[in-house]
Amino acid sequence: MAEHPLGRRAAAMITPFTADGALDVEGAQRLAVHLTDRGGCDALVVSGTTGESPTTTDAEKATLVRAVVEAVGERASVIAGVGTNDTRHSLALARSAEAAGADGLLVVTPYYSRPSQEGIVHHLRTVADATGLPMLLYDVPARTGSGTALSADSLRRLAEHPRVVGVKDSAYDLMKSGRVLADTDLVYYSGADETNLPLFAIGARAYVSTVANVAAPQVRSVLDAFEAGDHATAARRHRALLPLVEAVMTVVPGVVAVKALFAAAGLPGGGVRGPLLPADEGVTGRLVEALKRALASPDFDRVPPTRRE
């Protein structure tokens, strides 16, 4: 298994919409190229939480995968979120994503129905069996309910599947993560920006970042410094990003914050779909200031944007 089977510096892409609320395919392609060529992302997650997957149709999801794959080619892996609380629906989305050209799948634990650990394992194995694509497990109990958090034993069992290659870890459980890292070959992707460096310290080697939508080089630089052995610089950069992470992820949902920042900068993004509501003027102003302060931090003076010709 490759150390980073689907890339290590992934942005959790927003899904841009037009003024009338339709999928903005051209905007998605522009954003994908920007994140890859200017931001240095080597992976893009589409139709995840930040991509508003609960409110996009199956057809829109497939169109989005095709558009992003066309835009970035082999410069970045495209990972499609296909998780639902319905096994048959997840199978259909997984096969559709494979047909549309996705490089990998992201599958959240099934929510609402509150299946047993055995039911969760069966669901995830069934989706992994449905395609030839590598798959990341998405462990995010804050969104799926504590009853659907993957246990360490379930993660060990799922690690035996040849196409289950990693975990997007948003469980905030360093004990569980450390134990599974010690016992398996799963590649751990930090799924929350504030846990990137703590998880790197115990063996994670990748991330899926919402904040990378607006500060991809800065987010990337934390991992780059850590892997270069400069742990002091990595720690300073991580701390310098925390006020921005807090602003983006705590006052309003992350996608609302990112789209507010995009709107302020004139970038493609559009509005959010209900039940989400857009950020008001006050929140947007605070987000803009937090982003400006982060980008102006001297900790990032030697972190120029990546440009690929």
Tens digit of each residue's pLDDT (9 = 90 or more) over 270-307: 999 999 999 999 999 999 999 999 999 999 977 755 55
Structural contact between residues 140 and 171, judged by C-beta atoms closer than 8 angstroms: yes
* Alpha carbon separation from 133 to 96, 181, 191, 240 (Å, rounded): 12, 22, 20, 36
Which tokens hold the place of 46? 């589409």
pLDDT greater than 50 at residue 237: yes
Which tokens hold the place of 131? 């395609």
Q: What DSSP designation does 204 have?
A: -
pLDDT greater than 70 at residue 24: yes
**How far, in Å, CA of 115 to CA of 163, rounded?**
22
The residue type found at 299 is D
**How far, in Å, CA of 31 to CA of 39, rounded?**
10
Q: What is the mean pLDDT of residues 209-220?
A: 97
**How far, in Å, CA of 159 to CA of 165, rounded?**
7
pLDDT greater than 90 at residue 43: yes
Give pLDDT, residue 308: 54
Q: What is the mean pLDDT of residues 23-46?
A: 97
pLDDT band, very low/low/confident/very high, at 10 (cuts 50, 70, 90): very high
**How far, in Å, CA of 24 to CA of 30, rounded?**
10
Domains of the chain: 9-300 (3.20.20.70)
Give pLDDT, residue 268: 84
Give pLDDT, residue 266: 87
**How far, in Å, CA of 127 to CA of 103, rounded?**
15
Structural contact between residues 44 and 32, judged by C-beta atoms closer than 8 angstroms: yes
Give pLDDT, residue 3: 61
- Angle, helices 212-227/254-265, rounded to nearest 10 degrees: 110
Structural contact between residues 24 and 59, judged by C-beta atoms closer than 8 angstroms: no
| pTM: predicted TM-score of the whole model, two decimal places | 0.95
Share of the chain above pLDDT 90, in %: 91
Give pLDDT, residue 309: 41
Give the catalytic positions in this structure: 138, 168
